[in-house]
A = this chain, B = another copy of it.
Amino acid sequence: MNGAESLVRTALAAGVDLCLANPGTTEMQLVAALDSVPGMRAVLGLFEGVCTGAADGYARMTGRPAITLTHLGPGFANGIANLHNARRARTPIVNWIGDHATWHLAADAPLTSDIASLASPVSTWVHTTRDAKSLAADGASAIAAALAPPGGVASLIIPQDCTWDDAPGAAKPVAVPAPASVDDARIAAAADVLGGGNATALFLGGAALREDALRIAERIAAATGCALIHETFFARIERGAGRPVVDRLPYFPEQGAERLQSLCELVCVGAREPVAFFGYPDHPSRLADDATNVSTLAEPEEDIAAALEALAERVNAPKQVDRPTPERVGPASGTLTVGALGQTLAAIQPEGAIVVDEGATSGLAWFALSAAAPAHDCLSLTGGAIGQGLPTAVGAAVACPDRKVIAFQADGSGMYTLQSLWTMARESLDVTVVIASNRAYRILQAELGRAGIFEPGPKAASLTDLTHPELDWVSLAKGMGVPGVAVDTAEGFAEAFRRAVAEPGPSLIEAVTS
């Protein structure tokens, strides 16, 4: 067998069986190996950011890495933005990046570049394979590196001769360590802090946002009176009716700081201490002020559920918590404001949906109102690199074919990776895309005001405006084989959304908000 076949066999042996690909010439042996070695699903993206974002969404839902297959430095570079988001989500992903044959690099052919320099900022592990005999073992190491707690991006650079030369065979999976246990001292310290009679909160992120962990946190809150707050931007949260309700830390630093300022103690669980998303002249980086003591129960790479359970025992938490059933909102009527859009979406979204929220300013109302919607997962934009929503929806839909995926997508952000729609159509993915179409970079219009520019000049206005021409998302979707409809009233949205949810397969609703 050749190196390419040894690598594909190695991945399959480790349980990795999805390849999100945008290959070129240097990857042809790897492409051929996807046929000659049975078992790996191959999904084509027409832009690399679709592949990397889909790998993120897939692993957020399955816990297993997918392979991304990209073409040398520039091809890989097109996937960096969504790998940045994946890095912040601590998502396991394995990149196979084709490169020139080892002996061809010295020629400095047109596509030659420093791939390791490009890959390092988004990777926890970067390695260049030396020869075909090493490729399988490198492939196994990459998968283990991606899966090492808490999860990360592993980038394997593969010179093409390593794929076409003979290789001895597949490599066995490399053992992955379990998340480290939190020691008793930290459990005891957290119990002391929470039992001290002060205003306290658990700050939850990462694996602490899964239902099992949240139920333990809720029991701790019942016993100690601590508040439960979660990261503003999270990889995945299990929420909705029947599940614990947790406060989201607000986005803008003044609001985030205000939420925290009454607290004497903030205990981080699977999350790092909250900081401002951006630095502003009049606000420090830290959101907690000096009066709040910040400590850590469990780091993201540690065994979070076990730490929470140990803490629950230590504070004599009740076995179960009675939680009032929140009342679900009904659909809105009339003008399609962002509030009406979010309300109607929350009112109609089906049980078990996976909502990929890149709604930006248009998504806030939905998030608040959907706490009482049927149980669902929400995936958010972890790294601030916009263009994550549609690709992540692709990956979530590949991961969970029996669940409805709702891509709640701001129009400006959606344009970065709109090629995702084509993959949705090709793979018949069950994704309802809701474009929140306000025809502006609304967040930037707000940021101009925050920068003291209350009457933007014509250039600033132009650079934050998406009219002239208006984007027509129904045509964009049609161009990629996805049926679409535009609506501009709450009733119109409700009808279109009900229909989209009832039918399997991809569709798009352009919700033009006022």
Asked if B457 and A35 make an inter-chain contact with CB atoms under 8 angstroms apart, the answer reads yes
Asked if B75 and A111 make an inter-chain contact with CB atoms under 8 angstroms apart, the answer reads no
User: Across the two chains, which residue of chain B brings its CB closest to A28?
Assistant: B451
Please name all residues of chain B whose beta carbon is closer than 8 Å to the beta carbon of A426 when the two chains form the complex: 468-469
Asked if A108 and B275 make an inter-chain contact with CB atoms under 8 angstroms apart, the answer reads yes
CA distance A73 to B36 in the complex (A): 38
User: Across the two chains, which residue of chain B brings its CB closest to A31?
Assistant: B460
CA distance A47 to B479 in the complex (A): 19
Asked if B469 and A425 make an inter-chain contact with CB atoms under 8 angstroms apart, the answer reads yes
Asked if B419 and A415 make an inter-chain contact with CB atoms under 8 angstroms apart, the answer reads yes
Asked if A111 and B279 make an inter-chain contact with CB atoms under 8 angstroms apart, the answer reads no
Asked if A276 and B444 make an inter-chain contact with CB atoms under 8 angstroms apart, the answer reads no
Please name all residues of chain B whose beta carbon is closer than 8 Å to the beta carbon of A498 when the two chains form the complex: none
Shortest distance between the CB of A460 and any CB in chain B (Å): 5
A29 is contacted by which of B233, B451, B473 (Cβ under 8 Å)?
B451
Please name all residues of chain B whose beta carbon is closer than 8 Å to the beta carbon of A469 when the two chains form the complex: 422, 425-426, 480-481
A186 close to chain B: CB less than 8 A: no
Chain A residues 277-307 with CB under 8 Å of chain B are 277-279, 281, 285-286
CA distance A72 to B24 in the complex (A): 28
Given A384-B74, A463-B21, A463-B23, decide whether A470 and B476 contact each other with a Cβ distance below 8 A. Answer: no
Which of A113-121, A149-157, A196-204, A399-407 lies at the interface? Answer: A113-121
Asked if A46 and B412 make an inter-chain contact with CB atoms under 8 angstroms apart, the answer reads yes
CA distance A474 to B477 in the complex (A): 12
A459 is contacted by which of B31, B88, B475 (Cβ under 8 Å)?
B31
Asked if B118 and A80 make an inter-chain contact with CB atoms under 8 angstroms apart, the answer reads yes
A324 close to chain B: CB less than 8 A: no
A110 close to chain B: CB less than 8 A: yes
Asked if A478 and B472 make an inter-chain contact with CB atoms under 8 angstroms apart, the answer reads yes
Please name all residues of chain B whose beta carbon is closer than 8 Å to the beta carbon of A34 when the two chains form the complex: 457, 459-460, 463
Please name all residues of chain B whose beta carbon is closer than 8 Å to the beta carbon of A447 when the two chains form the complex: 24-25, 28
A333 close to chain B: CB less than 8 A: no
Asked if B279 and A31 make an inter-chain contact with CB atoms under 8 angstroms apart, the answer reads no
A28 is contacted by which of B32, B101, B448, B478 (Cβ under 8 Å)?
B448
Asked if A110 and B286 make an inter-chain contact with CB atoms under 8 angstroms apart, the answer reads no
Interface centre among A25, A49, A73 (most CB of B within 10 A): A25
A74 is contacted by which of B383, B473, B474 (Cβ under 8 Å)?
B383
A385 close to chain B: CB less than 8 A: yes
Chain A 213-225, CB-CB to B under 8 Å as 1, else 0, gives 0000000000000
Chain A residues at the B interface, C-beta cutoff of 8 Å? 21, 23-26, 28-29, 31-32, 34-36, 40, 42, 44, 46-47, 49, 72-75, 77-78, 80-81, 84-85, 88, 100-101, 103-104, 106-111, 113-115, 117-118, 120-122, 160-161, 164, 233, 272, 275-279, 281, 285-286, 382-385, 387, 412, 415-416, 418-419, 422, 425-426, 443-444, 447-448, 450-451, 453, 456-460, 462-464, 466, 468-481
Q: A73-B84, A78-B387 are in contact. List 14 more A-B contacts (CB 8 A).
A: A21-B463, A32-B448, A32-B453, A34-B459, A49-B78, A103-B285, A109-B275, A110-B233, A111-B278, A113-B121, A117-B120, A471-B480, A472-B480, A472-B481
User: Across the two chains, which residue of chain B brings its CB closest to A443?
Assistant: B25
Shortest distance between the CB of A117 and any CB in chain B (Å): 5
Shortest distance between the CB of A436 and any CB in chain B (Å): 16
Shortest distance between the CB of A73 and any CB in chain B (Å): 6
Please name all residues of chain B whose beta carbon is closer than 8 Å to the beta carbon of A459 when the two chains form the complex: 31, 34-35, 40, 42
Please name all residues of chain B whose beta carbon is closer than 8 Å to the beta carbon of A233 when the two chains form the complex: 110
Please name all residues of chain B whose beta carbon is closer than 8 Å to the beta carbon of A277 when the two chains form the complex: 109-111
Interface centre among A42, A46, A472 (most CB of B within 10 A): A46
Please name all residues of chain B whose beta carbon is closer than 8 Å to the beta carbon of A120 when the two chains form the complex: 114, 117
Please name all residues of chain B whose beta carbon is closer than 8 Å to the beta carbon of A481 when the two chains form the complex: 469-470, 472
Asked if B456 and A35 make an inter-chain contact with CB atoms under 8 angstroms apart, the answer reads yes
Given A74-B81, A469-B426, decide whether A42 and B462 contact each other with a Cβ distance below 8 A. Answer: yes
Asked if A476 and B472 make an inter-chain contact with CB atoms under 8 angstroms apart, the answer reads no
User: Across the two chains, which residue of chain B brings its CB closest to A425?
Assistant: B469
Please name all residues of chain B whose beta carbon is closer than 8 Å to the beta carbon of A281 when the two chains form the complex: 161, 164
Given A107-B285, A453-B32, A457-B35, decide whether A74 and B80 contact each other with a Cβ distance below 8 A. Answer: yes
CA distance A443 to B24 in the complex (A): 9
Given A42-B463, A479-B471, decide whether A384 and B101 contact each other with a Cβ distance below 8 A. Answer: no
Asked if B109 and A285 make an inter-chain contact with CB atoms under 8 angstroms apart, the answer reads yes
User: Across the two chains, which residue of chain B brings its CB closest to A448?
Assistant: B28
CA distance A122 to B28 in the complex (A): 25
User: Across the two chains, which residue of chain B brings its CB closest to A382?
Assistant: B110
Asked if B107 and A36 make an inter-chain contact with CB atoms under 8 angstroms apart, the answer reads no
A-B contact pairs, 29 of them (CB 8 A): A25-B443, A25-B447, A28-B447, A28-B451, A31-B459, A32-B451, A35-B459, A44-B463, A46-B416, A75-B81, A77-B80, A78-B80, A80-B80, A107-B276, A108-B275, A109-B275, A110-B277, A111-B277, A115-B121, A117-B120, A118-B118, A422-B469, A425-B469, A426-B468, A470-B481, A471-B479, A471-B480, A475-B476, A477-B479
